[in-house]
Amino acid sequence: MIAQKSSKNAIALDTYGINSQNNKSDHIQGMIAKAFSHIASQQELEKSKLLIHSNTRKIVSVQRSFSHSDSMRFCHITPIQKISPHVTSESCPITLNISEHGIRFGGLASCDNPYCVFCANKRSGARSERIKQGLAGSSGRGESYFLTFTIPRQDDLLLAREQLKERWGKLQNKIQYHFRKKLGLKVSFAKSLDVTFNLSRHKKTYHLHYHIVMIVSGKGHNSRVQELIRTWIKDLGSKIEIVASEKGQWIEQIITGGARSKIAKYVAKMAGLGRELAYNTTKKARGKDSLGLIDLMLLCASKDPLAIEIYRDFLLKMAGARTMDFSRNWDDWIIEDDEEEEAESIDETIIISLKEWREIGARRWLEIAHKLYRKMVLQNKPNEINNLYEILDEIRESPWLATRDIKASVDAWLYLYDID
């Protein structure tokens, strides 16, 4: 709802606590007015669109509040140039890079935890591109398959990790023996660990599974690969007793055909938290018995005590876990094509001043990064970054602007960005 102030030099937007003053440019005032005119006329749209931004801020707040490690709680808050007396804004500037590999902040102290809302995309971007290149290179040279292997839910996360790892190790040995030693074929893997959470009291908490991309040289292997499900669910001679069922296991052939778009959905399943953040996706469809990490963190933000307990236990027991692995021969499938990549690639770096980082704030910068990635990379609209540059230019040319007015401009742009 828009509330008018008596002063002719300002308008107030009560939903954000925003004041837009007369010393802003006509462009910025027009952006705010256009964005929030939708709020006055479309209340339901307001709720759905603003929820995207508030969710990002909520999950950042959850990480800051409930993480065990200082490095994760304070990740992407402090510029390196403020920590070290030998570092300057010229030698180590704050940067935001948007590319097909994902988003990456530079010049900030970071934790590099795979479950950090700031670092996840940085970690998964390059790995996702490596999977894409391997699959594209396998076209005409081999067959590719997407496999999902699960084990029953467990309350003990460390035990579940050990069970899944040991079972995959046993299966991998059988695959190598059958395909490589007996048939003389080359087999390569990319493996990603995924976890969903259950908050229903009648079911166990953690459901771990591997998503695996498997490439086999030659052709005609579909029936052999499908047999791997039967091998997975039967006794593999593991030290830890486990009974896996056929339900939840999945194998399908990936038809590459040289088209990157055809393999994108498989790569997305391997990307984990980085994808959830970039796409604003969740796993709520099956209710509280199959929540993704973002869903769990949003429940933490609502002060759900069980969600907070599970989130903290998850971070503690997943410390040091390898979330993605590649077999040593994976890169043998990659065919370099520099000219094509250069022609199609998006690679934009924004230099951020200390003032801009401090006054816009880390949470909003994270929202900005994900919105730019969605627009520029996923929707192929590279010129959308010009909207942000106009706001940054306004900030740089108007040093008298108050912090709340700077945040008002950014919030209006973020909101307008989603409804255009």
| Predicted local confidence at residue 54, as pLDDT | 67
Q: How confident is the model at residue 104 (pLDDT cuts 50, 70, 90)?
A: confident
Q: What is residue 388's three-state secondary structure?
A: helix
Question: What's the chain's average pLDDT?
Answer: 79
pLDDT at 40 over 50: no
* Partners of 295 in the β-ladder: none
Q: Which of 28-42, 56-70, 148-162, 397-411 has the lowest mean pLDDT?
A: 28-42
Strands 187-197 and 142-150, how do they pair? Answer: unpaired
| Predicted local confidence at residue 158, as pLDDT | 95
Q: Which of 31-35, 61-65, 132-136, 361-365 has the lowest mean pLDDT?
A: 31-35
Per-residue CA distances from 376 to 97, 109, 118, 366, 384 (Å):
12, 26, 19, 15, 7
Q: Which of 24-28, 144-148, 230-234, 319-323 has the lowest mean pLDDT?
A: 24-28
The C-alpha atoms of residue 402 and residue 311 are separated, in whole angstroms, by: 37
The answer to whether 203 and 291 have CB atoms below 8 angstroms apart is: no
Q: What are phi and psi of 336, to 5 degrees?
A: -70, 135
Q: Which of 99-103, 213-217, 365-369, 406-410 has the lowest mean pLDDT?
A: 99-103
Q: 334-347: per-residue pLDDT in tens?
A: 987 654 444 457 88
User: What is the per-residue burial (b if ≥16 Cβ within 10 Å, else e) of 368-403?
Assistant: bbbbbbbbbbeeeeeebbebbeebbebbeeeeebee
Tokens (6 digits) for 69: 């490690």
Answer whether 0.85 is exceeded by the pTM: no
| Predicted local confidence at residue 335, as pLDDT | 87
| Predicted local confidence at residue 238, as pLDDT | 57
| Predicted local confidence at residue 188, as pLDDT | 96
Share of the chain above pLDDT 70, in %: 75
Average pLDDT over residues 12-18: 32
The C-alpha atoms of residue 193 and residue 120 are separated, in whole angstroms, by: 14
Question: Domain residues of the chain, as ranges?
Answer: 43-113+341-419, 120-336
Q: What are phi and psi of 77, to 5 degrees?
A: -105, -45
Per-residue CA distances from 67 to 157, 168, 206, 308 (Å):
17, 30, 19, 10
Q: How confident is the model at residue 196 (pLDDT cuts 50, 70, 90)?
A: very high
Q: 164-192: per-residue pLDDT in tens?
A: 999 999 999 999 999 999 999 999 999 99
| Predicted local confidence at residue 30, as pLDDT | 56
pLDDT at 20 over 50: no
Q: Which of 28-37, 38-47, 323-332 has the lowest mean pLDDT?
A: 38-47
Average pLDDT over residues 137-156: 92
Q: 218-250: per-residue pLDDT in tens?
A: 999 999 999 998 888 876 555 556 666 777 888
Average pLDDT over residues 51-63: 78
Tokens (6 digits) for 323: 């979330």
| Predicted local confidence at residue 418, as pLDDT | 55
Q: Which of 25-34, 72-81, 217-226 has the lowest mean pLDDT?
A: 25-34
Count Cβ atoms below 10 Å from residue 9 Cβ, excluding itself: 10
Per-residue CA distances from 252 to 2, 145, 223 (Å):
52, 6, 11
Residues 39, 41, 46, 49: is their CA dihedral positive or negative?
Answer: negative
- Better-predicted residue by pLDDT, 331 or 81: 331
| Predicted local confidence at residue 26, as pLDDT | 55
The C-alpha atoms of residue 386 and residue 96 are separated, in whole angstroms, by: 15
DSSP string of 70-86? HHHHTTTTSBHHHH-TT
> Which range has the top average pLDDT, 57-66, 251-260, 402-411?
57-66
> Which range has the top average pLDDT, 117-126, 280-289, 298-307, 406-415?
298-307
CA-based Rg of the chain, rounded to a whole angstrom? 24
DSSP string of 164-203? HHHHHHHHHHHHIIIIIIIT---EEEEEEEEEEE---TTS
| Predicted local confidence at residue 366, as pLDDT | 87
CA angle (282 as vertex; 366, 382 as ends), nearest 5: 45
The C-alpha atoms of residue 240 and residue 235 are separated, in whole angstroms, by: 11
- Better-predicted residue by pLDDT, 88 or 24: 88
Q: How confident is the model at residue 330 (pLDDT cuts 50, 70, 90)?
A: very high
The C-alpha atoms of residue 36 and residue 41 are separated, in whole angstroms, by: 9
| Predicted local confidence at residue 100, as pLDDT | 79
| Predicted local confidence at residue 35, as pLDDT | 47
Q: How confident is the model at residue 402 (pLDDT cuts 50, 70, 90)?
A: confident
| Predicted local confidence at residue 146, as pLDDT | 93
Length of the chain: 420
Q: Which of 126-140, 166-180, 231-245, 367-381 has the lowest mean pLDDT?
A: 231-245
* Partners of 139 in the β-ladder: none
The C-alpha atoms of residue 106 and residue 369 are separated, in whole angstroms, by: 12
Q: How confident is the model at residue 287 (pLDDT cuts 50, 70, 90)?
A: low
| Predicted local confidence at residue 11, as pLDDT | 30
Count Cβ atoms below 10 Å from residue 183 Cβ, excluding itself: 14
Helix (H) or strand (E) holding 13: strand 10-13
